[in-house]
A = this chain, B = another copy of it.
Amino acid sequence: MTTSGENEVLALFTERIALIKSYEEALAVLYWDLRTGAPRKGMDVRSEAIGNLSGQMFKLSTAPELGDWLTVLEAPTTYAALNEVHQRLVTETRKDYDRSVKIPPKLYQEYVVLTSQAESMWEEAKGNSDYASFEPFLDKIINYTNQFIDLWGVKGTRYDTLLDMYEPGMTTEQLDRVFGGLREKLVPLSAAIAASPHQPETGFLEQTYAKDAQKKFSLFILEQMGFDFAAGRLDESAHPFATGLNPGDVRITTRYLEGDVTSALFGTIHEGGHALYEQNIRQDLVGTTLATGTSMGIHESQSRFWENVIGRSMNFWSRYYGDLQKHFPGQLDVPVEDFYRATNVVQPSLIRIEADELTYNLHIIIRYEIEKLIFNEGVKASELPALWNAKYKEYLGIEPPNDGEGVLQDVHWSGGAFGYFPSYSLGNMYAAQLTDTLERELPNFWELVENGDLLPIKNWLTDKIYQYGKLRTPSELIEGITGKPLDPDYLVEYLKKKYTGIYKL
């Protein structure tokens, strides 16, 4: 920064970023509100308001002057003189800007209309297990996505262009390697578990659990995790989610099932993990578009670290099972070991969102392989049900009785979110790899968990990950913290060790 002209451009640029971030905050509140109790009859007008404000935000994000400012700030000497936050804002904004301006507005508008129709069609098709009614929509969405890939430009394979949206820098080459390694080791592990004579007893879980007590326990556990209730809240919704409006306002939801105490319990810990990430972003990023998680995969690593690594560990329940019992007097009278084993059952199943910690990854690998076939091999929408069923048979040993429980089960494709699924397993792999480092850097890690002394763990994660928001890329974080690129063996070892104990393999 040498001339006053450049300073002025920087001021205009950061002001525009703040404005865009304000739209993001407003839209996030509107969505949160829609999902936590907005009256039904206001939905149409609300959708229009969301559409109008999104359009305004899109205009501001793709305005020619923003492109001009970026060009000024990208000049080498100017860029070199920027602080790290401004540098990262410039590169992130450039990436979004180029991606957005390459799509002709008319094409994008058509796509928005198509996907919003497709989502309702999908819901109906899933209910009726009627793939034929959804297929033409899916076909069109694939078509549009292919047009977008052409407009954005292909790096590596066509599918890489989609992956990069959710996990910046991730490639098909890398995923083939890690998912290949994972699949190869998880399929036999899953088979060994199925063959074990030591299956956990789960019947005692089938009781009615008062919703109020579930809610109280959810709040208690969040507090134990270090969730800041002055900077967030817990609500209810049909599908649990987390949304960070800003680090001072991070909202999560859960769903209380009276017949299943584990659903809200692990759901809350999961969303709580997402929330800890968003609540602990550095103050100097607040109000910028960097004040959010760096990728879907890293975000998911945090929810899954808290839900699975911590929340489904024996050490955790050694400390908290007594509290859980007190919340449901007379209901949970089995020993803590039995509770631990029952909440860690492995069982190949048809539905991804109900899958256990191990087989979940096989659900993701199937979707990854299919998405790759669609975009890199030109596989058609009409071929997907057969492909889906064959892969379930091969990797999980079971076959969907209908498409509702098969290829139609997930909402993602109806919204065009191709490339998103890998994030979930990336989250599991990152979490395992980070845990390995954590165990070495906090040598009393499991003792802390057993004492319910969770704050040093939250602080370590804040120090290594949370504070940076989008300031570091996923691979910068993982390699910086663990000293190695993503390696699926950490997850394999973690799962092997865990289930060898539970299933006495």
Interface on A for B, CB 8 Å cutoff? 18-19, 21-23, 25-26, 29-30, 33, 37-46, 48-49, 52-53, 56, 228-233, 245-250, 286-287
Inside 8 A of A41's CB, which chain B residues have their CB? 228, 230-231, 247-249
Inside 8 A of A56's CB, which chain B residues have their CB? 19, 56
Determine whether the beta carbon of A48 is less than 8 Å from that of B287: yes
Complex Cα distance, B286 from A41, in Å, reads 12
Inside 8 A of A29's CB, which chain B residues have their CB? 26, 29-30, 33
Determine whether the beta carbon of B33 is less than 8 Å from that of A49: no
Interchain CB contact (< 8 A) of A42 among B26, B40, B42, B246: B246
Inside 8 A of A48's CB, which chain B residues have their CB? 18, 22, 287
Known: A29-B29, A53-B26, A287-B48. A248 touches B19 (CB 8 A): no
Interchain CB contact (< 8 A) of A229 among B23, B39, B44, B46: B39
> Closest residue to A286 on the B side, CB-wise?
B45
Determine whether the beta carbon of B232 is less than 8 Å from that of A45: no
> Closest residue to A233 on the B side, CB-wise?
B39
Inside 8 A of A53's CB, which chain B residues have their CB? 22-23, 26
Inside 8 A of A49's CB, which chain B residues have their CB? 21-22, 25-26
Determine whether the beta carbon of B230 is less than 8 Å from that of A39: yes
Inside 8 A of A37's CB, which chain B residues have their CB? 233
Inside 8 A of A247's CB, which chain B residues have their CB? 41
Closest Cβ of chain B: how far from A203's Cβ, in Å?
A: 36
Closest Cβ of chain B: how far from A230's Cβ, in Å?
A: 5
Among A18, A29, A229, find the residue whose CB has the most chain B CB atoms closer than 10 A.
A29
Closest Cβ of chain B: how far from A252's Cβ, in Å?
A: 12
- List the 5 closest A-B pairs by CB distance, nearest first: A42-B249, A41-B248, A42-B248, A22-B52, A41-B231
Inside 8 A of A229's CB, which chain B residues have their CB? 39
Inside 8 A of A245's CB, which chain B residues have their CB? 42, 45-46
Question: Can you list 9 A-B pairs, Cβ within 8 angstroms, ordered by A?
Answer: A22-B52, A29-B29, A33-B33, A39-B229, A39-B230, A41-B228, A41-B249, A44-B248, A48-B287
Determine whether the beta carbon of A249 is less than 8 Å from that of B52: no
Complex Cα distance, B230 from A41, in Å, reads 6
Closest Cβ of chain B: how far from A61's Cβ, in Å?
A: 14
Determine whether the beta carbon of B38 is less than 8 Å from that of A249: yes
In the complex, given contacts A33-B33, A43-B248, A45-B245, what are 6 additional A-B residue pairs having Cβ atoms less than 8 angstroms apart? A22-B48, A23-B52, A25-B49, A29-B33, A37-B233, A40-B230
Closest Cβ of chain B: how far from A43's Cβ, in Å?
A: 7
Complex Cα distance, B247 from A37, in Å, reads 16
Inside 8 A of A45's CB, which chain B residues have their CB? 25, 245-246, 248-249, 286-287
Complex Cα distance, B43 from A247, in Å, reads 11
> Closest residue to A24 on the B side, CB-wise?
B49
> Closest residue to A27 on the B side, CB-wise?
B26
Inside 8 A of A232's CB, which chain B residues have their CB? 39
Inside 8 A of A230's CB, which chain B residues have their CB? 39-41
Determine whether the beta carbon of A42 is less than 8 Å from that of B287: no
Complex Cα distance, B245 from A30, in Å, reads 12
Inside 8 A of A286's CB, which chain B residues have their CB? 45
Interchain CB contact (< 8 A) of A39 among B23, B38, B248: B248
Inside 8 A of A287's CB, which chain B residues have their CB? 45, 48
Complex Cα distance, B226 from A253, in Å, reads 31
Among A52, A233, A250, find the residue whose CB has the most chain B CB atoms closer than 10 A.
A52
Determine whether the beta carbon of A26 is less than 8 Å from that of B26: yes
Inside 8 A of A22's CB, which chain B residues have their CB? 48-49, 52-53
Inside 8 A of A231's CB, which chain B residues have their CB? 39-42
Complex Cα distance, B59 from A56, in Å, reads 12
Complex Cα distance, B477 from A159, in Å, reads 63
Complex Cα distance, B24 from A342, in Å, reads 51
Inside 8 A of A19's CB, which chain B residues have their CB? 52, 56
